A and B are shown apart, each in its own frame.
Chain A
Amino acid sequence: MRDLTDIEQWQAFLDGNIVAFDALMTAHFRALYQYGSKFSNDSEFVKDCIQDLFLYLWEHREHLSQQVSVKAYLMASLRRRIHRNKKGEFLDKPIDEESHLLDIEFSVEDAFIENESSHNLSKHIQNALAALPKRQKEIIYLRFFQNLDREHIAQVMDITPQTVSNVLQIAFKGIRKNWKTEYLTFFLLYFLFN
């Protein structure tokens, strides 16, 4: 349903409909801002990048594809734009992908938690997520917190869908292993001290 709406808006925008453009930008602004903020602490910079992106899209609408996954397309474009603009800032320093600031902070909201063991596991998962390499974090974020599927994540991060699956597998191994280790430690300590 959502995709249909997106694509309708998208195509109306490609036809030069400013109202559709308005709706499109309004609908996606928050998700783009959230995602963009993972690459820069400078919120004004992120907002500028999003506005530039939409200005660019409007100017080049005649050359854009009719059939796109709108959210993934916008996120991919924003990601490239932010990286490009940041490169511009530090022209003298070569910047590789991994050295980009990617800051995804996971939190546990206790308001949702009633029992102790969920709390512990949540904390463990939080720590495990925090310990993941950037790339794995980003995939987890797009997958579970921006609800993109494998193909769309591949598009956003400019990698193959197979890579997404592989990295996701590795990330899960990390999360589970971490949990098991800590879980074991926890029980060991528990038995030792009781």
Chain B
Amino acid sequence: MEKYKYCTLQDLVWSDLFREWVLSPTIETNALWHQWLSENPEKWDMVNEASEIVCAIKVKEPSISEQEIRNLVQKTIQNIEKEGKLSKNDKDTEGVVELENSITKAVFYRQSWFKIAASIALIFSLGWGAWVVQQNNQRGNVYENLVSGTNAQLIETINKTDSPQIVRLSDGSVVTLKKGSRISYESSFKGENRVVYLSGEAFFEVAKNPKKPFLVYANELVTKVLGTSFTVRAYKEDKEVTVEVRTGRVSVFSKKNQDQTTQTNNSTLTGLVLTPNQKIVFKRDVEQLTKTLVAEPAIVVPKKDSQPVNFDFDDTPANEVFRVIETAYSINIVYDEGVLKHCPITAPLTDQSLYDKLNIICKAIGAHYEIVDGQIIIQSRGCKNDE
């Protein structure tokens, strides 16, 4: 700092170091300038005056809202998608999700909302099966009713393109909307909850905010999360609604239920809570919720520094094998500890899917499994060796 004499007020006003300190001070620059001031105490007045001037002189800039910027960016991306200028990889939903994950890691890791949002990752999807025209007419307009029934001023995005479209919400959450799907949301979430209405399918990456639960209304189902990422699939032709969870926790309840209670106002997850690899099937005609497992359960991503799970078993008691699987997939396995500890397993199972693993183990120990209420139930009469 010695070389900076700052003889006049304007020396300070147009000094980069000074402006930087005044406009965006840091601990380092504060220390630097206080040091300089203690050496040059006669400059105090000048510094005060100069900092007022630096703050006061502005350039008149046109105003543009965050929302408008988002809309214009969105419009540009729609134009790109319309003209089919996305590469093939980008059109694949899985690809976009992967892409999203990798790029958020690479690019957004400094943004605090992402740091928080990244702490939980969960995927769940709402899917509809086949649907009859008659029911379609009755129920098809649930979305419209929901949207028109709210007092909040909503923005609607409809993906009319052939590829997924990215919608950024004001809380930092990102929604990847599938083709033909529509979503309505508030420009800024002012209420107690962050509420969005969906018809169709979308992948959500929700910025974590425990004080403001994030609610997805999709036909008769309400899905509630505090902060996570997930896919919602909701085509109105379908007969069922399914919710799939890979990691994290979500709570699902029917709209009907919610109307009777105040579940959405409570920040604790109520309703039917889904844990990783669980799936919910909502049968729309009978309004029945069933919990089961997803078709391809995935290993819940281990923490960064931990070892990948080893599924190569060598004379390992079956109860221990199940405990390893239980932890890795975060799925509850119900078995008789006392019976299974006498059933040793020797098998390399690392490359098998969960169901293949279960089939091989059960065959080896003469047991069979059932999936009940999102859990795996092992039924075994013990091993032949014991008899």
Contact residues of A with B, CB < 8 Å?
1, 5, 8-9, 12, 16-23, 25-26, 29-30, 33-34, 37, 43, 47, 50-51, 54-55, 58-59, 104-115, 117-119, 121-122, 125-126, 129, 141, 144-145, 172, 175-176, 179
Contact = CB atoms under 8 A, between A and B. Distances in A.
Interface of B: 9-10, 13-14, 19, 48-49, 52-53, 55-62, 64, 69-70, 72-73, 75-77, 79-80, 85-87, 89-90, 96, 99-100, 103-104, 106-108, 110, 166, 168
B62 A176 contact: no
A144 B52 CA distance: 16
B52 A19 contact: no
A16 B62 CA distance: 32
B10 A179 contact: yes
Contact of B86 (A12, A18, A37): A18
A56 B87 CA distance: 16
Contact of A144 (B19, B48, B89): B19
Contacts of A105: 59-60
B77 A1 contact: no
What 8 A-B pairs come out closest when comparing CB atoms? A112-B55, A118-B52, A105-B60, A112-B56, A118-B49, A29-B69, A37-B62, A19-B103
Contacts of B62: 33-34, 37, 43
Contacts of B103: 12, 17, 19-20, 23
A175 B59 contact: no
Given A16-B87, A54-B76, A122-B56, 15 more contacts: A5-B107, A12-B103, A16-B86, A17-B103, A25-B73, A29-B64, A34-B59, A34-B62, A58-B85, A107-B60, A108-B57, A108-B58, A111-B56, A118-B53, A172-B14
B57 A33 contact: no
Of B64, B89, B110, chain A has the most CB atoms within 10 Å of the CB of B64
B59 A55 contact: no
A16 B108 contact: no
A99 B9 CA distance: 34
A33 B87 CA distance: 28
Nearest to B104: A19
A115 B70 CA distance: 41
Given A17-B103, A19-B100, A109 B59 contact: no
A8 B107 contact: yes
Contacts of B77: 18, 21-22
A16 B69 contact: no
Nearest to B64: A33
A15 B53 CA distance: 44
Contact of B57 (A20, A117, A122): A122
10 contacts: A17-B103, A19-B166, A105-B59, A105-B60, A107-B60, A112-B56, A118-B52, A129-B57, A144-B19, A145-B59
**Which of B80, B87, B107, B108 counts the most A-chain CB atoms under 10 A from its CB?**
B107
Given A18-B77, A118-B49, A121-B49, A30 B64 contact: yes
Contacts of B61: 34, 37
Contacts of A33: 62, 64, 69
Contacts of A106: 57-60
Contacts of A144: 14, 19
Contacts of A112: 52, 55-56
Contact of B52 (A5, A18, A114): A114
B53 A125 contact: yes
B52 A55 contact: no
Contacts of A34: 59, 61-62
A119 B19 CA distance: 18
B80 A18 contact: yes
A19 B108 CA distance: 11
A47 B96 CA distance: 28
A180 to B, nearest CB: 10
A16 B19 CA distance: 38
Contact of A51 (B48, B52, B72): B72
Contacts of A12: 103, 106-107
A1 B24 CA distance: 15
A55 B78 CA distance: 10
Contacts of B90: 16-18
Given A23-B107, A59-B85, A117 B10 contact: no
